[in-house]
Structures are given as structure tokens and as C-alpha cells.
Amino acid sequence: MNLNLNNLTFVIVTYNSETVINKCLDSLPKEASKIIIENSNNIETKNYLEKKYDNIKVFLSENDGMGSSNNKGINKSSTQFVFILNPDTVFKNDTLKKIFDEAKLIDDFAIISPINSDPNHPNYKSSNKLFSENIIEANSVDGFAMLINKKKFEENNFFDEKIFLFLENDDLCKRTKKLGNNIYVIKNALIDHKGFSSSTKIDKDKLEHLRNWHWMWSKFYFNKKHYGFFQAFIYILPSLLSSILKILIFSIILNNKKRKIYQYRFFGILNSIIGKSSWYRI
């Protein structure tokens, strides 16, 4: 398939990501089209990025979550292909070239991903099938670097906007595979990913609460969506019981920091079980 900068747009969702976004953008070709969805509604960030970088459009938005924001960027793009990136990712000098070169061997795909440069943190789940020497068929890839073929998604059915955080990429990949479409990882195309560095102005304790609440909410929602309520409940039950037990233990020993973490986990599970939306925000 013919991939090049003329039919590709980079989409990056940011939230007060000033300390990491520059390295990401500096690693991309100047002539590449770039769309930023800035979820903090910070006009200063918009003005700064649009002044510093070529071929970039920054759209201010409320923080509706990664999935919803990715969809906004995808729908604002005019190219067939979009490259979803987290702002804490950095391309190697030859990352894009290797993706473009290997894509010529592929007749059809829905999603392509480079490979995380840190081998201790693989960003894909393999189907144990090799397409070629440098191309792996994958069942899913992490959401911090996903090159998407928009034509493979009917009615712009990209990310599930009910998910605020966690597993939105797993859901997208699962639906992609169910439709019989292909996901590939390019083994020799490396990308650096810092992880958990996308936002730089959030209190660490509050961020930990947010992550725990939404991790539990998303785990139940994802499993209910794909396997049904009963199986999702059986799957989440150990986490539910563990949260209750640890709330009691940490209350007794007066460890308020740990108690709060498990309270947020418990309420994330509870809200998902009773069918409430992923409403919690900092």
C-alpha cells in the first residue's frame, strides 16, 4: 500500500503537555500535516504551537477523554491515513521511512504500528503470525502510536467515546479483528515512549486517583461490551472484593493515602456495574 506524507495526518491529543510535546513534534517531518487536540482549552498553548511549527492546526477542546479527542482529530483530517500519537512519543530518524517501505508489501490493513524501543514494554499482542521478515500480524497494539486506515472504519466508527481512559485502543483493535481486518506491527520501525508523561500539570495523587477509578471502570465496561454482563462481573469480582478488603485494612492502620486509592478503585467498579458513565474527572 502506498503510504506517504501526502496522504497522512498526525493526530496528537494533549493536556497541558508543554514539557513533552516539543520533542514529539521535533521528531516529525516539518512538511507533515499535524492536528493537535488540546484538552485544557489553553489558548496560550495553541498560539505557541501554531507559531513554532509548520503545517500544524491546534483545536481547543474540553477534556472528553482520549477516545473522543482522537475521534475529533481523525474527523478533522482530510487524508486517508491518520497517525494517532501520544505527546510523549518520539520518532527515530528512520521510523517513518521504515513504516513507508514495509507498507509497500501490504495490500490491505486497518492499523499499523511501530514497535516500542523498550523491549521490556512491548506495545502489541502478537497473533504469532509473521507476514514478512519485518512485519508481524498483531491482535492488538497500544494506543500511543497507531496508524489508522480510515477507509476500514464504516461510519467513522473509530474509538468508543464512552471510554474516558484505558482500553479504548483494545476495544478498537478487537472490533477491527472481528471485522476481519488486519493489524500489523513493523518490527524495525522504533518509537520511544516515556509512558504516563503526557500531562505535566496534574497533582500526582489526584492523577493516581483518576487512573485507578477509570482503570476499574474501563475493565468492567470493556468486558461487558464484548463478553456480556455476567462474564464481566465474574472477571471484576476479585478486584471488587480486594478493594473492599484493602479499604478496611488501610482504614484500620490509618494509611489514608492507600485507603483513598482503593476507594477510587471501588467506586470505579461500582459506577461501571450500575451502568453509570465514566464521569469522574480531576
Alpha carbons 147 and 182: distance in angstroms, whole number:
12
| Chain center to CA of 75 | 17
pTM: 0.92
Backbone angles phi, psi at 134, to 5 degrees: -115, 10
For the chain, the first-to-last Cα distance in angstroms comes to 43
Integer Cα distance of 106 and 276 in angstroms? 42
SS3 71: helix
Strand-pair partners of 130: 136
Q: What are phi and psi of 90, to 5 degrees?
A: -135, 130
Structure letter (DSSP) for residue 234: H
Question: Ramachandran region of residue 65, left (φ > 0), alpha (ψ -120 to 50) or beta?
Answer: left
Q: How far is the CA of 77 from the CAs of 56, 72, 83, in angstroms?
A: 11, 9, 10
For residue 53, give the 3-state DSSP assignment.
coil
Per-residue pLDDT of the chain (282 residues; tens, 9 = 90+): 899 999 999 999 999 888 899 999 999 999 999 999 999 999 999 999 999 999 999 999 999 899 999 999 999 999 999 999 999 999 999 999 999 999 999 999 999 999 999 999 999 999 888 999 999 999 999 999 999 999 999 788 899 999 999 999 999 999 999 999 999 999 999 999 987 555 556 689 999 999 999 999 999 999 999 999 999 999 999 999 999 999 999 999 999 999 999 999 999 999 999 999 999 998
